[in-house]
């Protein structure tokens, strides 16, 4: 069975199996996991997979999950990211309780342990440039070469390391390296860098430090300090595990965590790399980190995706050890599933075409009841005003329809949802030959949408009253990239030029315009929508979360 199938059937995966076995064998009193983001960007849906895994395991096995900021690179990290990450984890529905930590909380301890490694002859200060170090590290087929500084005396190493800390040397002048094995088959063990000089102001420690620990040095030791039992990360760290273990073995750490790796989430038509997402924002390709086309948690939220849909999605994809690309259609399926259940129905006309009902009395309006949710009577009804002047969707009319077009055209009769049958009598055009208005008649005997003589119509269309509806701006989003596997190295070339369409003349029901709700709404026959924060009292703005059906697959022809 695939990981997907196992997850769907049992909710279990190989990591949960390991945790269960460890608890059965009483190896730990309590399982402790952590989610360790680097605050150098906003979280994306790939992170949601890791969050759901770490927090989910803690919940299911009555353990704890820490939120730990891996804040070891002050040149790229910002308070804005720290704040957004906390907000997004909460919004996804997870809670770290009091267990909020920062790798920077451990800088002092990490430093002292590094001095210990030097004293034990297990670390040395290297004066080579970054470039020299890189070149001499060797390749997969070629062993590395020892640094000429590798056999420095302990006292000299200690002195230099302390002066690095005191800020005596410029950036890049020296590094502290572990002394392991330059000919190891695993490049990560070829004397990895533990500390580098960086004169930069840290969001939390300010100017206190001139040296910062590497990810490899900070990560496992932070895990050990916090008593993490299962340190779960993505597959690219598999080759780092021997180093993770080496450091834990050599240092007097208070606990012994174990690292496990799983396959990161890749999603079709999407790039989940913080570098690319940062460039999309900085380059102005999108309106910000929370642009609804972004795969960030903030973007999905602004687009109207409910957190439950994201949780359901990551549950369905499961956790495996082999990399793969998940079809974005699976995420969309989960979004539709939830919204179909939760979203109230309303009517909106995205591209309005005016209709005048010639035989309806001028000045008269009547109130019509409309159902708020077809499967949930408790959601109740609302009233719509029907009158002589209406709007219908421009696409619902064709002057010279092809054979299979069943909606409105001259001489045909259709049902207006909840209201009456109408028949089109004439299309009025402007000087350019464009249809600007339809003249129709209605059958008063069809009130409620059924003919007493039993005659049928082939189409039911949504509509709005002209006077009692309100203008709105509607933003339709499509995939940000036009290729199933966009090229991360040259992503700009793969951007979808049609990823955003703004409809500025749309009309919506008066009741939606007046309510300030941020609840998801289904605009009948159009899709799911949510009010955007750009709305003003006079001009509500709605984002399309997703269409009703998977039309995208057909448009691009590829999948499905
Ligand atoms: P980078 O390290 O390049 O800045 P990152 O996406 O790995 O980017 P982190 O902040 O280090 O960012 O990620 C935090 C955690 O989320 C890590 O444990 C990482 O393995 C996990 N993670 C990141 N991307 C994905 C993904 N696409 N799928 C699953 N987990 C992910
Ligand atoms: Mg990372």
25 is written with which tokens? 């064998």
Which H or E element spans position 438? strand 435-442
Place of tokens 């990551």: 314
Task: Give which of 401, 395, 283 is closest to 349, Cα–Cα.
Answer: 395
Nearest CA to ligand 1 atom 1: 274
Closest ligand 1 atom, residue 272 Cα: 27
CB atoms within 10 A of CB 375: 8
* pLDDT reported for residue 3: 66
Nearest CA to ligand 1 atom 22: 47
| Binding site membership of 68 for ligand 1 (Cβ less than 6 Å) | no
Domain assignment present for residue 321? The answer is no
Does 441 share its domain with 503? no
Cα 438 to Cα 412: distance, rounded to the nearest angstrom: 12
Does 259 share its domain with 288? no
Does 254 share its domain with 147? yes
Decide: helix, strand or coil at residue 286: coil
Q: How far is the CA of 42 from the centre of ligand 1 (A)?
A: 11
Cα 232 to Cα 434: distance, rounded to the nearest angstrom: 61
Give, as one character, the DSSP assignment of residue 129.
-
| Binding site membership of 36 for ligand 1 (Cβ less than 6 Å) | yes
Q: How far is the CA of 65 from the centre of ligand 1 (A)?
A: 16
Q: How far is the CA of 291 from the centre of ligand 1 (A)?
A: 20
Q: Which ligand is nearest to the CA of 81?
A: 1
Domain assignment present for residue 477? The answer is yes
Nearest CA to ligand 1 atom 23: 47
- Decide which of 468, 495, 512 is a domain's last residue: 468
CATH of the domain at 278: 2.40.240.10
Is the Cβ–Cβ distance between 493 and 516 less than 8 Å? no
Domain assignment present for residue 334? The answer is no
Find the DSSP H helices in 343-416: none
Nearest CA to ligand 1 atom 16: 47
Q: Which ligand is nearest to the CA of 47?
A: 1
Q: How far is the CA of 38 from the centre of ligand 2 (A)?
A: 7
Decide: helix, strand or coil at residue 396: helix
Task: Give which of 501, 513, 511, 530 is closest to 472, Cα–Cα.
Answer: 513
Angle at 502 between CA 497 and CA 508, to 5 degrees: 150
- How many separate domains does the chain show? 3
Q: How far is the CA of 35 from the centre of ligand 2 (A)?
A: 11
| Binding site membership of 320 for ligand 1 (Cβ less than 6 Å) | no
Does 202 share its domain with 280? no
Domain assignment present for residue 458? The answer is yes
Angle at 75 between CA 179 and CA 195, to 5 degrees: 10
CATH of the domain at 139: 3.40.50.620
Domain assignment present for residue 311? The answer is no
- Decide which of 447, 468, 489 is a domain's last residue: 468
* pLDDT reported for residue 535: 95
| Binding site membership of 238 for ligand 1 (Cβ less than 6 Å) | no
Place of tokens 């009456």: 420
* pLDDT reported for residue 385: 97
Q: Which residues have C-beta within 8 Å of that of residue 393, sequence separation ≥ 6?
A: 349, 350, 351, 352, 353, 461, 462, 525
Active site residue 264: yes
Q: Which ligand is nearest to the CA of 45?
A: 1
Rounded mean pLDDT for each run of 10 residues along the chain, 560 residues in total: 66 94 96 98 98 97 98 94 98 98 98 98 98 96 97 98 98 98 97 98 96 98 98 97 98 98 97 97 97 98 98 95 94 97 97 98 95 95 96 96 94 97 97 97 96 94 97 97 97 97 97 86 97 94 93 41
Active site residue 256: no
Q: How far is the CA of 40 from the centre of ligand 2 (A)?
A: 10
Cα 358 to Cα 425: distance, rounded to the nearest angstrom: 9
* pLDDT reported for residue 517: 86
Which range marks the domain in which residue 407 is found?
A: 346-468
Does 140 share its domain with 155? yes
Cα 246 to Cα 248: distance, rounded to the nearest angstrom: 6
| Binding site membership of 230 for ligand 1 (Cβ less than 6 Å) | no
* pLDDT reported for residue 439: 98
Decide: helix, strand or coil at residue 511: helix
Domain assignment present for residue 486? The answer is yes
Which H or E element spans position 107? helix 107-119
- Tell the burial category of 475 from Cβ atoms under 10 Å away from its Cβ (0-12, 13-18, 19+): buried
Sheet of strand 64-69: strand arrangement: 32-35, 64-69, 100-102
Strand partners, 552: none
Output the CA–CA distances (angstroms, integers) from residue 203 to 72, 212, 217, 346, 547, in the order listed. 10, 13, 20, 47, 42
Does 248 share its domain with 152? yes
Active site residue 274: yes
Does 49 share its domain with 95? yes
- The residue to mutate among 3, 38, 92, having the most atoms of ligand 1 within 8 angstroms of its beta carbon, is 38
Is the Cβ–Cβ distance between 390 and 416 less than 8 Å? yes
* pLDDT reported for residue 556: 41
Does 103 share its domain with 232? yes
Does 201 share its domain with 291? no
Does 180 share its domain with 254? yes
pTM score, whole prediction: 0.94
CB atoms within 10 A of CB 327: 16
* pLDDT reported for residue 553: 46
Domain assignment present for residue 320? The answer is no
- Decide which of 468, 494, 516 is a domain's last residue: 468
**For residue 422, which phi and psi values (nearest 5 degrees)?**
-130, 155
> Measured in whole angstroms, how far is the alpha carbon of residue 550 from the centre of its chain?
19
Does 186 share its domain with 284? no
Exactly one of 256, 264, 447, 483 is catalytic; name it: 264
Domain assignment present for residue 335? The answer is no
* pLDDT reported for residue 554: 45
Does 251 share its domain with 374? no
Output the CA–CA distances (angstroms, integers) from residue 454 to 136, 419, 451, 457, in the order listed. 87, 16, 5, 10
| Binding site membership of 264 for ligand 1 (Cβ less than 6 Å) | yes
């Amino acid at each position: 069975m695939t990981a997907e199938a196992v997850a769907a059937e049992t909710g279990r995966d190989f990591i949960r199996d390991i945790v269960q076995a460890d608890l059965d064998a009483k190896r730990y009193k309590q399982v402790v996991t952590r989610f360790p983001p680097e605050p150098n960007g906003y979280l994306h849906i790939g992170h949601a997979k890791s969050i759901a895994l770490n927090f989910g395991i803690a919940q299911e096995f009555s353990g704890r999950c820490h939120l730990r900021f891996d804040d070891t690179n002050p040149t790229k990290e910002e308070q804005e990211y720290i704040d957004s990450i906390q907000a997004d984890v909460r919004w996804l529905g997870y809670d770290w309780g009091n267990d909020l930590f920062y790798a920077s909380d451990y800088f002092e301890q990490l430093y002292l342990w590094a001095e210990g490694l030097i004293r034990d002859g297990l670390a040395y200060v290297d004066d080579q440039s970054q470039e020299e170090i890189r070149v001499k590290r060797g390749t997969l087929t070629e062993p590395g070469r020892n640094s000429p500084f590798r056999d420095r005396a302990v006292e000299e190493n200690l002195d230099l390391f302390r002066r690095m800390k005191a800020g005596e040397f410029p950036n890049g002048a020296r590094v502290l390296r572990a002394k392991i094995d330059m000919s190891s088959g695993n490049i990560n063990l070829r004397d990895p860098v533990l500390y580098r000089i960086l004169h930069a102001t840290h969001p939390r420690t300010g100017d206190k430090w001139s040296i910062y620990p590497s990810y490899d040095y900070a990560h496992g030791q932070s895990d050990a300090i916090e008593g993490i039992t299962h340190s779960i990360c993505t597959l690219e760290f598999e080759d780092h595990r021997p180093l993770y273990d080496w450091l834990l073995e050599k240092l007097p750490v208070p606990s012994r965590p174990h690292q496990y790796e799983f396959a990161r989430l890749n999603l079709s038509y999407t790039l989940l790399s913080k570098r690319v997402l940062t460039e999309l924002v900085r380059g102005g390709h999108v309106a910000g980190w929370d642009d609804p086309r972004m795969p960030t948690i903030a973007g999905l939220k602004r687009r109207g995706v409910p957190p439950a849909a994201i949780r359901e999605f990551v549950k369905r994809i499961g956790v495996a050890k082999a990399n793969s690309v998940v079809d974005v259609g699976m995420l969309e399926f989960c979004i539709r599933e939830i919204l179909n259940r939760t979203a109230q129905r309303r009517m909106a006309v995205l591209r309005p075409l005016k209709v005048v009902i010639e035989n309806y009395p001028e000045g008269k309006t009547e109130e019509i009841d409309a159902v708020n949710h077809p499967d949930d009577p408790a959601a109740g009804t609302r009233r719509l005003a029907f009158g002589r002047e209406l709007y219908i969707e421009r696409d619902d009319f064709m002057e010279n329809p092809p054979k299979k077009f069943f909606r409105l055209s001259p001489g045909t009769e259709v049902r207006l949802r909840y209201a009456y049958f109408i028949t089109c009598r004439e299309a009025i055009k402007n000087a350019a030959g464009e249809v600007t208005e339809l003249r129709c008649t209605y059958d008063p005997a069809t009130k409620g949408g059924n003919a007493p003589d039993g005659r049928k119509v082939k189409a039911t269309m949504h509509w709005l009253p002209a006077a009692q509806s309100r203008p709105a701006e509607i933003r339709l989003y499509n995939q940000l990239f036009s290729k199933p596997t966009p090229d991360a190295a040259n992503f700009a070339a793969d951007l979808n030029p049609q990823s955003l369409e703004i409809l500025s003349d749309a009309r919506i029901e008066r009741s939606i315009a007046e309510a300030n709700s941020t609840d998801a709404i289904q605009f009948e026959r159009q899709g799911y929508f949510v009010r955007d924060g750009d709305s003003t009292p006079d001009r509500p703005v709605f984002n399309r979360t997703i269409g009703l059906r998977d039309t995208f697959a057909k448009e691009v022809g590829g999948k499905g």
